[in-house]
């Protein structure tokens, strides 16, 4: 077999495996309860393991903060290399219902080339003489709910992320042994596809390992809660239309995080 063919086959293998390579974006806080008018520290994490930090995302590509009146109030972000995360602090003004923290990553473009995986847009890498087999942009979103209560109505607010998981079940009412229902929207329309869920501590040894799998039908999915603690529900959409010359396709990743008591 020629070296050229080996190189092309290796690139195809990399292309097929690529969706599993990208880290997931999540939010974590050491405390659960917020106090009105008091600073509340949290972190943005990037990892293949659920809320186990593995790398610090590029600060210029990340936004994070608190949702107030349906809009993101951005917080100042600080890279924390020893902690492998991004630190930020919010100060909640209204605790009349649940509080939502949000993180967004405007993803870089990653290209599969004749010389392996490279960061950069198609036209940028082709200008360097590389053959680009496929270029993909990877955008990520995360929402975390705090201070949920049984009479809360804010837990189900829609932010408008391109891929968004919205709880139907109030997290304050979630119990081990029961189902937790979510609505999932892709560009504002019902999402049909894979849904993964897990909880903090389920697996710390292995990457990309989840406690539960299901599929959303017409925008609705049901997750069986099997333990108390911090839960995350994840959805993924690949092969969305690209931008000519920049990337051939876009992927969207999203996480919803909440506490089950």
pLDDT digit string (tens) for the chain, length 261 residues: 443 443 333 434 444 444 445 799 999 998 888 998 999 999 999 999 999 999 999 999 999 999 999 999 999 999 999 999 999 999 999 888 899 999 999 999 999 999 999 999 999 999 999 999 999 999 999 999 999 999 999 999 999 999 999 999 999 999 999 999 999 999 999 999 999 999 999 998 999 999 999 999 999 999 999 999 999 999 999 999 999 999 999 999 999 999 999
Cβ contacts of 52-59, under 8 Å, gap ≥ 24: 52/204, 53/83, 53/84, 53/85, 54/23, 54/84, 55/23, 55/84, 56/80, 56/81, 56/84, 56/85, 56/86, 57/23, 57/25, 57/86, 57/105, 58/108, 59/86
pTM above 0.75, yes or no: yes
Ordered by start, the domain boundaries in the chain are: 7-260
Residues 6+ apart with CB under 8 A from 230: 28, 51, 199, 200, 257, 258, 259, 260
């Amino acid at each position: 077999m020629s070296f050229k063919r080996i190189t092309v086959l290796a690139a195809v293998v990399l292309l097929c495996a690529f969706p599993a390579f990208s880290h997931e974006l999540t939010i974590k806080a050491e405390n659960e309860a917020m106090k009105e008018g008091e600073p509340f520290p949290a972190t943005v994490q990037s990892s293949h393991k659920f809320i186990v930090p593995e790398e610090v995302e590029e600060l210029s590509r990340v936004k994070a903060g608190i949702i107030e009146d349906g809009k993101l109030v951005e917080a100042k972000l600080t890279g924390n290399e020893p902690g492998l995360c991004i630190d930020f602090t919010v100060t909640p003004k209204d605790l009349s219902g649940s509080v939502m923290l949000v993180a967004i990553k405007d993803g870089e473009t990653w290209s599969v080339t004749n010389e392996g995986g490279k960061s950069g847009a198609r036209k940028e890498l082709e200008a360097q003489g590389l053959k680009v087999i496929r270029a993909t942009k990877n955008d990520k979103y995360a929402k975390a709910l705090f201070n949920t209560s049984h009479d809360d109505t804010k837990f189900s607010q829609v932010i408008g992320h391109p891929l968004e998981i919205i709880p139907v079940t109030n997290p304050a009412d979630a119990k081990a042994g029961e189902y937790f229902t979510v609505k999932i929207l892709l560009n504002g329309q019902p999402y049909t596809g894979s849904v993964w869920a897990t909880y903090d501590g389920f697996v710390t040894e292995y990457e990309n390992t989840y406690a539960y799998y299901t599929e959303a039908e017409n925008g609705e999915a049901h997750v069986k809660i099997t333990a108390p603690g911090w839960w995350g529900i994840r959805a993924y959409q690949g092969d969305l239309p690209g931008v000519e010359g920049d990337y051939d396709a876009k992927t969207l990743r999203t996480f919803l995080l909440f506490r089950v008591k």
